Amino acid sequence: MVKEIVERQAEKSAVEEIRVDGFDHTEFYVGNALQACYYYHHGFGFDIVGYKGLETGHRDRVSYVLQQGNVKIVLTGALNADSDIAEHVHRHGDGVKTIGMKVRDARLAYETAIARGAKSFAEPTEVTDDYGTMVTASVHTYGDTIHTFVDRSNYSKDNFAPGFKPIQGKADGGVGLAAIDHVVGNVEVDRMEHWVDFYKKVFGFYVYQYFDANDISTKYSALVSKVMANRTGSIKLPLNEPAVGIRKSQIQEYLDYYLAPGVQHIAIATRDIIKTVGALHERGIEFLTVPRSYYDALPERVGEIDEDIEELAKLGILVDRESEGYLLQIFTKPVEDRPTLFFEIIQRKGAHGFGKGNFKALFESIEREQANRGNL
């Protein structure tokens, strides 16, 4: 069963929370930023809004900024063989380097995190250009992933950050992606508690929900998951750890290919999932599928919903009911060469959870894909 907000009361003595106003951006280190940019622009409908590279005086990297609604993705590629970016891609394949957090005081957030034991990745840097002043600072989290604190309160919305130049004329119109809902990390066996403690002790976050092997298991694989969140709920960071099953769990498959803990999926919220997913299908984005029997059982499982079940079945959208409402969700196939990162599209209609009722159908779908890859 879901243990909602179980530890909220017990956490009264916990450290004061680092004040975070939500996700800022996520930065991917990729092998070819130009081509990845084309994929997110045409495939997911992101506008290309910013650029840095040789033309802006950067000799070591190329970055494209993509935006849709409040979702900002930065795609960064290396210009030299010996750069950290090239090393990251060599080891992990394309993947998420930074989970950015919007803060009002990046220095304070950084210094608080460091004082509580976080490892520094980049000290606070204040840069001023024609668009204003921005302060950023970064700390390590699981694997080679980092959190970047971004204070853009004195910086214009017309540019992503100092060093970048705004790009005009590369708008797409989008598919209705509105905001990052949550970002999930996969961590190694027996390291879950370590990272739960890290988010508790360093950030002052709490365990919002957790799922154990009884909630999340199929014939073959199992996992345990704890959702770390801030009090406002603007940051939700679920952490998954592989649990012992008969065969290799999907988390273990990820770890075997990413070669470290890292970001498993980014969930993006939409206000009209049927429209969004319909458009993504048309653009060639591939999703996990569930058997027809899932939809036959749906009315009994979730009761009355606003959407037409046939339409959901056609697109492969999943539904889960909770006490306060329901949610609709769907998962892409991995979006990199290695079976690592994927995206979730989610629409919440009163529900605050993560689709526990869909875990079984979903994991069976993932296992069919794993078997196709020869990894089950």
> Closest approach of Cβ 9 to Fe ion, in Å?
25
The least CB distance from residue 5 to Fe ion, in Å, is: 18
DSSP annotation string for 202-244: TT--EEEEEE-TTTSB-SS-EEEEEEEE-TTSS-EEEEEEEE-
How many residues lie near Fe ion (CB under 5 A)?
A: 2
Backbone angles phi, psi at 132, to 5 degrees: 130, -155
Binding mask 255-294 for Fe ion (x = CB under 5 A): ------------x---------------------------
β-pair type (132-140, 120-129): antiparallel
Nearer residue to Fe ion within complex by CB, 258 or 354 = 354
Please say which residue, 18 or 267, places its beta carbon nearer to Fe ion: 267
Least distance (Å) from Fe ion to the CB of residue 57? 39
The 3 state secondary structure assigned to 122-157 is EEEEEEEECCEEEEEEEEECCCCCEEEEEECCCECC
**CB of 213 or CB of 246, closer to Fe ion:** 213
User: Which of 75, 267 has the CB closer to Fe ion?
Assistant: 267
Smallest gap from Cβ 331 to Fe ion, in A, equals: 8
Residue 355 C-beta: closest distance to Fe ion, Å: 7
Which 320-359 residues touch Fe ion, going by CB under 5 A? 344
For Fe ion, the closer of residues 267 and 345 by Cβ is 267
Backbone angles phi, psi at 244, to 5 degrees: -70, 125
E-strand spans in 247-350?
262-270, 318-322, 325-331, 342-349
Provide the token pair at 165.
């130049």
User: Regarding beta strands 325-331 and 318-322, do their DSSP bridges make them parallel or antiparallel, or are they unpaired?
Assistant: antiparallel
CB of 224 to Fe ion, least distance (A): 15
- Which amino acid would we find at residue 305? I
Stated length of the chain: 376
The Cα–Cα gap between 359 and 341 comes to 18
d(C-alpha 309, C-alpha 61), whole Å: 47
| Cβ-based nearer residue to Fe ion, 113 or 280 | 280
Q: Is there binding between residue 229 and Fe ion (CB under 5 A)?
A: no
Shortest separation between residue 236's beta carbon and Fe ion, angstroms? 9
Look at residues 259, 254, 232, 230 and name the one whose alpha carbon lies nearest to residue 241. Answer: 254
Cβ proximity to Fe ion: between 94 and 344 the closer is 344
**Interacting residues toward Fe ion by CB under 5 A:** 267, 344
